[in-house]
């Protein structure tokens, strides 16, 4: 069986922060209304956390669940575990109106690491980084394309669509060049 | 001669000498100099030629308001025209050249325009170049643009890079002078998040020059205090360029203008959202209008002070000061304190008194009250002034030899940021300037004023001038034609007065007629003087005449900063499929499809595109072809009401589709027009997967969500756009099955997988979904695989297909093959005015359904009319290809004298399969016209005859795809 490859094969760039493409990560888009019977249990089972509140991301080890909209969650987990997770979700939400879809391959994921990671985001996303709360996930745009990001460790994890991965890598490289620090 | 003084210069570092060149001449300056200061230190008073008359022009100002000293800066990839010497920091190796002269700055033939000035009055162009109309574009404009103009646009690529950044704050302070620093300090101490911007390279503004030691100490201490506050950010060399709705501010930071090539971005455009904006933008001194006020050596009094005190530069041994207010006395005092001579202060006021006047007199400076400058002597530099009475007509009373003239006509608050978003102004009669009307501010999202002006920008602390708009007040025509209002656009007092005589009453009209204030400085110096002269000529008042509109940016912002990172590789997002790298490696010629790049064809050897397309088609029809169809939209629709939802969205019935089956569907908008098409498959009892066109993926997903969220919010349906989750590969051709069988894993036999079905399984070890659908008319499988394995599957198919002659084909081959089959293409056969019925697609429209989106629209009389243009096929009699976009002509002419039409071509190709031109098109009567001969127009003129035929040119029975 062939391995799934990420969009850029783990490309990286060292500027005033380190940028690297990671993944592929397992991702499941789960459309469901909050409070649906079995949802809490399904998230607990698959991710190990509770259901995130509005604009929040719950992280536990290499798994996470992010609030994407009033009726959409994004589950993040090891790539190989999506099939099991889909089965778990399917059984726990059986009979409840929901839609779960694996979107691992539809995405590209970047890590922007370093003390000044926020500055790279501030050049590309119209987001008030000072006011970004701990554990907050932000759906926004990076220059001309849709993106989502959250702070994790010393840095930021940014997700975009796979087809624009080279563009986003280009943006990140341009914005992370040494000498262009904002402060 | 202007020169460097032995001592002084608060802004320069005399220990750091800097070499630069002007017009090829090597010069020296000091770190901290502006280019203007360094030029004056090298006695370069002549810096350019004026726009229209090519008059010699020198440095007038010391800041952003400078109209004359516009330079070509840099060379090659760093060439920039129209850079102001007064705001350019000098650096080692700087290369500047002057503009708008030929053949040289010192000897310019264009100056004949100056001699002919009486023939070039205001509105000259409008009056002269009216007839013949065509001559404007082809004769007059090119010549005028060549003779009159500033810098040339750069031709090559910009070597530098630019970026943008977002910032958010409670209080944005524009201007780092004392008022701005105080405002920032107050806000910072109150715990507000503050961002303070200063356009120059130093904090303190005019107070550095005009303030005493205590003031400068206060500045240093305040800058330090602000720097220590976590909630305050400070940026030098950063100009607030414009204020927009809801506290949005654009600011241009010159990051590396003064350190080119150090790898930093040249400029950074800040996109700031501020709760409140404090405009501490100061004030700009006004010139006085006297004859010869544009001769090099005539400068603003404040600028002279800046050069002497700030840069240690003397404008000349002897400077005559001319003023209508006390402020210019500062200049006279500064000059004398620097050891220079002030032969006379020419004060237009009948009585001058006050502390500054007394101090000047105490220093022994001669003060002439009620006097004016009749004219300035000199050509390329000032040699003296002739004095007269301000109250008179200009009879010369005395001559004074001098090298420079320092003028002050009073101060105008910089109200631009206040005005950009609608803040109103009030004319302050006592102060003689427009200042912000605090009762009518620009309002923000909460309805409250979002801009506050402080300090000089609010008209505070400025010297009171006596109104002097023309000097002397009774000057005749000879003098007034030499009184410059707008230096950069060569507008004189006489031009504005002429405009008034010719009936221009509105200041906005006068501006455009005379071009007053329309140059790159946007009238920073000329505006108030110009409208005062206009008011005088109209026998009106200044507030009645009013001002022209202030628009962003405050000073020009380079395109590079506005474009930011959007250049080169990241000019636009370019979407690539998981197989893109293979296409690139195999010489694909790409075409843009939305933001995607899709292979148009794969030329081999010396093939041209047409030959490659022909080969790809013939090979697909004879052997097997591969198409990267990954870009097709894929949307999962799931829920108890999903079937009902799809029945509303599509014209056909999707709720009855069996699990494992595929069905072609059409989607219309509410008006009935065909919007998208694609194959729908049923995944399970309550879920479907809708394929859309490439361009429709996001649009149709949004369309679905729109209806679900806004109209049918109580229906239980969820959608998910999984377009990019899958790579999709079409394997098409008579040998397609053999290729899949060679990979093995899933049963793709005719029995196991009949036409219009699909199955999930494993192919060559990869989990896939195989659809038996065909857009080419051949036996065809579309295989979906996780995007991360798309390339691997493609490689396997290429490898396994080699034995069967597999070749990839591009979008053009796909287009032609579908046209050979008579399949419609969204965007070719449709253009937003076409209903499915026009395309003979009635078979895909359910007659039984009560409703679907577009049904009522299609029942409207106009769309249901029998004589609409309908789809048919066309074959030229001579086998040629009908030109793209051709119309089918009809008898007679319409009301506009154009030929009547009865239809048009929608798809037209050379068919490699049929070895002739084939076309689809819309024609009155559609298929009822079969057999008719019609005429299409051609691009070259003339027509081409064609026969109306069935649009299915190839394999009408569908034998090929049903094997």
Residues above pLDDT 70, as percent of chain B: 95
CA atoms of A143 and A127, how far apart (whole Å): 12
Helix ranges, B405-474 (H) = 416-420
User: Is the pLDDT at A21 greater than 80, yes or no?
Assistant: yes
Q: Which residue of B has its CA nearest to A161?
A: B724
Task: Give yes or no: residues B871 and B831 share one domain.
Answer: no
Tens digit of each residue's pLDDT (9 = 90 or more) over B532-548:
999 999 999 999 998 88
* Residue B908 resides in a domain: yes
d(CA B742, CA B947): 45
Which residue in this structure is represented by tokens 């001769």?
B295
| pLDDT score of B141 | 65
For residue range A53-98, list pLDDT tens digits in order.
Answer: 999 999 999 999 999 999 999 999 999 999 999 999 999 999 999 9
Q: What is the pLDDT at residue B271?
A: 98
Count of structural domains within chain A: 1
Range of the domain at A31: 12-175
Residue A6 lies in a domain: no
pLDDT band at B520 (very low <50, low <70, confident <90, very high): confident
Asked if residue B921 belongs to a domain, the reply is yes
Q: Is B413 inside a domain boundary? A: no
Give the CA count within 13 Å in the CB-facing half-sphere of B422. 12
Q: Is A29 helix (H, G, I), strand (E, B) or coil?
A: strand
In a domain, B401, yes or no: no
Q: What is the mean pLDDT of residues B736-750?
A: 96
Q: What is the pLDDT of residue B131?
A: 62
Mutate to test the interface with A, among B234, B637, B686, B720 (most CBs of A within 10 A): B720
Instruction: Say yes or no: B953 and B811 in one domain.
Output: no
Whether residue A47 lies inside any domain: the answer is yes
Interchain pair B569, A4: CB under 8 A: no
Chain B window 636-665: which residues touch A at a Cβ cutoff of 8 Å? 636, 638-640
Shortest distance between the Cα of A50 and any Cα of chain B, in A, equals: 23
Of B88-102, B415-429, B713-727, the range with the lowest mean pLDDT is B88-102
* Residue B923, domain extent: 866-961
Nearest-CB residue to A144 (from B166, B572, B722): B572
What's residue B443's pLDDT? 96
**Where do the DSSP E strands lie in B37-93?**
46-49, 56-58, 70-73, 80-84
Percent of chain B having pLDDT more than 90?
89
Cβ contacts below 8 Å, chain A against chain B, sum to: 139
B829 & B875 share domain: no
pLDDT band of residue B106 (cuts 50, 70, 90) is confident
The full DSSP string for B82-137 is EEETTSPBP-TTEEEEE-S-SB-SSSBGGGHHHHTGGGS-TTHHHHHS-SSHHHII
**Mean pLDDT in chain B?**
94
Out of B264, B565, B576, the one facing A143 most closely (by C-beta) is: B565
Q: Does one domain contain both B810 and B938?
A: no
Q: Are residues B872 and B761 in the same domain?
A: no
Q: Can you say how many angstroms the Cα of residue B851 is from the centroid of all Cα atoms in its chain?
A: 46
Tell me whether residue A1 is in a domain.
no
Answer whether residue A4 is part of any domain: no
Kindly give, in sequence order, each residue whose CB lies less than 8 Å from that of residue B879, ignoring residues fewer than 6 positions away.
Answer: B915, B916, B917
A156 belongs to a structural domain:
yes
The Cα B428–Cα B344 span in angstroms is 30
- B570: chain A residues, CB-CB within 8 Å: 143, 167, 170-171, 174
Kindly report which listed range (A162-166, B491-495, B816-820, B873-877) carries the lowest average pLDDT score: B491-495
> Is A58 inside any structural domain?
yes
pLDDT classification of B149: cutoffs 50, 70, 90: low
The CATH number given to whatever domain includes residue B884 is: 2.40.30.110
Residue B472: cis peptide before it, omega within 30 degrees of 0: yes
Q: Is the pLDDT of residue B113 over 90?
A: no
User: In chain B, how many domains are there?
Assistant: 2
Q: Does residue B340 sit within a domain?
A: no
- pLDDT band, very low/low/confident/very high, at B117 (cuts 50, 70, 90): low
Task: Tell me: pLDDT of B34 over 60.
Answer: yes
Would residue B308 count as lying in a domain? no
Domain of residue A166, CATH code:
3.30.1360.120
Contact A122 B233 (CB under 8 A): no
- Is B795 found in the same domain as B695? yes
Q: Whole-prediction pTM value? A: 0.94
A1–chain B nearest CA distance, Å: 5
Closest to B889 in 3D by CA, of B927, B855, B921: B921
Instruction: Test A128 with B168 for CB contact under 8 angstroms.
Output: yes
pLDDT at B105: 73
Angle at B61 between CA B55 and CA B66, to 5 degrees: 70
Whether residues B870 and B833 fall in one domain: no
Tell me whether residue A169 is in a domain. yes
ipTM above 0.90, yes or no: yes
- The angle at the Cα of B289, spanning B286 to B295, to the nearest 5 degrees, equals 95
Q: What average pLDDT does range B65-69 have in this prediction?
A: 94
Residue A22 lies in a domain: yes
Residue B746's domain is classified under what CATH number?
3.30.1360.120
Radius of gyration of chain A (CA): 17
Please return the burial class of B136, using the count of CB atoms within 10 Å of its CB with bins 0-12, 13-18 and 19+.
Answer: middle
Question: Is pLDDT above 90 for B151?
Answer: no
Write the pLDDT tens digit of every residue in B902-931. Answer: 999 999 999 999 999 999 999 999 999 999
A174-178, B116-120, B242-246: which range is least confident on average? B116-120
Q: For residue B102, what pLDDT is reported? A: 62
Residue in B193, B716, B725 nearest the CB of A106 = B725
Over residues B929-957, the mean pLDDT reads 95
Residue B645 lies in a domain: yes
- Asked if the model's pLDDT at residue B120 lies above 70, the reply is no
Contacts of B351 (CB under 8 A, 6+ apart): B369
Residue A3's pLDDT band (cuts 50, 70, 90)? confident
Q: Do B786 and A4 touch (CB under 8 A)?
A: yes
Q: For residues B775 and B301, give the distance between their C-alpha atoms in angstroms, rounded to a whole number.
A: 78
Alpha-carbon gap, residue B673 to B14, rounded angstroms: 75
The sign of the torsion formed by the CA atoms of B279, B280, B283, B284 equals negative
Which pLDDT tens digit goes with each residue over B1-31?
899 999 999 999 999 999 999 999 999 999 9
Tell me, what DSSP letter sits at residue B447? S
Q: Is B661 exposed, middle or buried (0-12, 13-18, 19+ CB in 10 A)?
A: middle
* H/E stretch holding B718: strand B718-721
> How confident is the model over B439-454, as a mean pLDDT?
96
| Structural domain includes residue B444 | no
Residues B690 and B827 occupy one common structural domain? yes
**Model pLDDT, residue B142:** 65
The residues, any chain, with a CB within 8 Å of residue B896's CB and separated by 6 or more, are: none
Per-residue pLDDT, B505? 85
């Amino acid at each position: 069986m062939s391995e799934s490859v990420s969009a850029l094969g783990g490309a990286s760039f060292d500027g005033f922060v380190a940028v690297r493409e990671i993944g592929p990560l397992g991702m499941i888009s789960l459309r469901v209304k909050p409070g649906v019977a079995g949802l809490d249990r399904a998230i607990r089972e698959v991710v190990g956390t509770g259901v995130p509140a509005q604009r929040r991301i719950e992280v536990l080890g290499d798994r996470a669940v992010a609030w994407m909209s009033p009726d959409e969650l994004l589950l993040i987990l090891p790539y190989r575990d999506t099939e099991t997770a889909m089965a778990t979700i399917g059984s726990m939400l059986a009979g409840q109106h929901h839609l779960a879809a694996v979107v691992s391959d539809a995405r590209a994921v970047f890590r922007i690491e370093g003390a000044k990671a926020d500055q790279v985001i501030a050049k590309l996303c119209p987001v008030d980084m000072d006011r970004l709360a701990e554990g907050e996930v932000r759906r926004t745009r990076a220059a001309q394309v849709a993106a989502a990001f959250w702070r994790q460790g010393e840095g930021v994890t940014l997700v975009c669509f796979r087809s624009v991965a080279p563009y986003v890598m280009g943006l990140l490289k341009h914005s992370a060049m040494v000498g262009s620090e904002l402060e | 001669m202007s020169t460097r003084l032995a001592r002084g210069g608060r802004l320069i570092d005399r220990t750091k000498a800097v070499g630069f060149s002007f017009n090829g001449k090597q010069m020296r300056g000091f770190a901290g100099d502006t280019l203007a200061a360094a030029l004056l230190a090298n006695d370069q008073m002549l810096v350019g030629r004026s726009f229209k008359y090519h008059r010699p022009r020198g440095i007038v100002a010391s800041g952003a308001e400078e109209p004359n000293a516009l330079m070509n800066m840099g060379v090659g990839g760093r060439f920039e025209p129209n850079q102001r010497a007064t705001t350019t920091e000098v650096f080692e190796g700087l290369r500047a050249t002057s503009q708008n002269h030929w053949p040289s700055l010192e000897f310019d033939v264009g100056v004949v325009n100056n001699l002919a000035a009486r023939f070039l009055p205001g509105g000259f162009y409008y009056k002269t170049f009216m007839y013949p109309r065509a001559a404007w574009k082809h004769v007059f404009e090119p010549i005028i643009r060549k003779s009159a103009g500033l810098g040339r646009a750069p031709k090559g690529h910009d070597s530098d890079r630019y970026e943008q950044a977002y910032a958010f704050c409670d209080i944005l302070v524009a201007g780092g002078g004392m008022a701005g620093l105080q405002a920032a300090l107050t806000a910072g101490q109150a715990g507000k998040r503050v961002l303070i911007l200063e356009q120059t390279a130093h904090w303190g503004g005019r107070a550095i020059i005009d303030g005493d030691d205590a003031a400068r100490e206060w500045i240093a201490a305040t800058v330090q205090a602000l720097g220590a506050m976590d909630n305050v950010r400070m940026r030098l060399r950063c100009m607030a360029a414009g204020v927009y709705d809801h506290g949005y501010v654009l600011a241009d930071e010159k990051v590396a203008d003064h350190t080119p090539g150090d790898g930093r971005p040249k400029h950074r455009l800040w996109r700031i959202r501020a709760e409140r904006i404090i405009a501490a933008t100061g004030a700009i001194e006004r010139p006085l209008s006297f004859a010869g006020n544009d001769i090099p050596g005539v400068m603003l009094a404040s600028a002279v002070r800046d050069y002497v005190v700030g840069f240690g530069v003397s404008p000349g041994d002897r400077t005559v000061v001319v003023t209508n207010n006390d402020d210019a006395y500062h200049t006279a005092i500064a000059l004398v304190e620097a050891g220079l001579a002030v032969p006379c202060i020419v004060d237009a006021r009948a009585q001058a008194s006050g502390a500054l006047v007394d101090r000047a007199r105490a220093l022994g400076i001669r003060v002439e009250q009620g006097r004016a400058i009749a004219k300035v002597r000199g050509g390329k530099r000032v040699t003296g002034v002739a004095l007269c009475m301000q109250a008179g007509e200009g009879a010369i009373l005395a001559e004074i030899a001098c090298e420079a003239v320092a003028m002050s006509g009073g101060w105008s608050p910089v109200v631009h940021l206040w005005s950009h978003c609608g803040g109103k102004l009030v004319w302050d009669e006592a102060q003689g300037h427009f200042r912000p009307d605090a009762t009518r501010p620009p309002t923000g999202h909460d309805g409250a004023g979002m801009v506050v002006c402080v300090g000089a920008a609010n008209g505070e602390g400025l010297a009171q001038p006596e109104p002097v708009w023309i000097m002397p007040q009774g000057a005749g025509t000879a003098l007034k034609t030499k009184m410059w209002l707008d230096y950069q656009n060569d507008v004189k007092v006489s031009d504005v007065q002429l405009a008034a005589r010719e009936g221009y009453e509105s200041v906005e009209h006068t501006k455009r007629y005379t071009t007053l204030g329309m140059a790159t400085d946007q009238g920073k110096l000329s505006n108030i003087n110009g409208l005062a002269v206009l008011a005088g000529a109209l026998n009106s008042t200044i507030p009645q005449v009013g001002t022209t509109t202030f628009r962003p940016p405050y000073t020009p912002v380079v395109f590079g900063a506005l474009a930011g990172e959007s250049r080169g590789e990241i000019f636009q997002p370019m979407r690539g499929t998981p197989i893109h790298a293979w296409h690139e490696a195999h010489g694909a010629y790409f075409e843009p499809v939305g933001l995607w790049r899709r292979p148009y064809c794969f030329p081999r050897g010396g093939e041209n595109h047409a030959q490659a397309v022909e080969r790809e088609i013939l090979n697909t029809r004879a052997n097997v072809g591969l198409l990267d169809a990954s870009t097709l939209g894929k949307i999962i629709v799931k829920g108890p009401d999903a079937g009902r939802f799809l029945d509303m969205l599509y014209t056909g019935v999707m709720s009855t589709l069996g699990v494992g089956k595929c069905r072609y569907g059409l989607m219309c908008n509410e008006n009935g027009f065909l919007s998208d098409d694609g194959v729908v498959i049923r995944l399970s009892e309550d879920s479907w997967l809708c394929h859309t066109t490439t361009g429709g993926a996001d649009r149709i997903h949004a369309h679905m969500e729109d209806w679900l969220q806004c109209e049918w919010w109580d229906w239980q349906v969820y959608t998910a756009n999984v377009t990019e989750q899958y790579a999709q590969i079409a394997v098409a051709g008579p040998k397609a099955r053999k290729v899949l069988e060679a990979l093995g894993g899933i049963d793709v036999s005719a029995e196991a997988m009949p036409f219009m079905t699909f199955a999930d399984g494993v192919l060559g070890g990869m989990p896939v979904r195989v659809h038996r659908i065909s857009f080419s008319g051949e036996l065809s499988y579309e295989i979906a695989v996780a995007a991360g394995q798309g390339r691997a599957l493609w490689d396997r198919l290429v490898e396994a297909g080699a034995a069967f002659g597999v070749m990839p084909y591009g979008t053009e081959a796909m287009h032609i093959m579908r046209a050979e089959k008579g399949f419609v293409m969204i965007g070719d056969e449709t253009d937003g005015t076409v209903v499915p019925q026009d395309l003979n697609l009635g078979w895909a429209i359910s007659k039984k359904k009560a409703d679907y989106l577009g049904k009522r629209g299609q029942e409207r009389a106009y769309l249901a009319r029998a004589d609409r243009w309908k789809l048919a096929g066309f074959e030229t009699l001579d086998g040629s290809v009908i030109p793209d976009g051709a119309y089918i002509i009809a008898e007679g002419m319409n009301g506009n004298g154009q030929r009547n039409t009865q239809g048009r071509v929608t798809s037209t190709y050379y068919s490699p399969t049929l070895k002739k031109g084939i076309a689809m098109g819309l024609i009155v009567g559609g298929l009822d016209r079969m057999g008719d001969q019609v005429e299409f127009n051609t691009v070259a003129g003339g027509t081409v005859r064609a026969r109306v035929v069935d649009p299915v040119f190839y394999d009408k029975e569908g034998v090929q795809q049903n094997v």
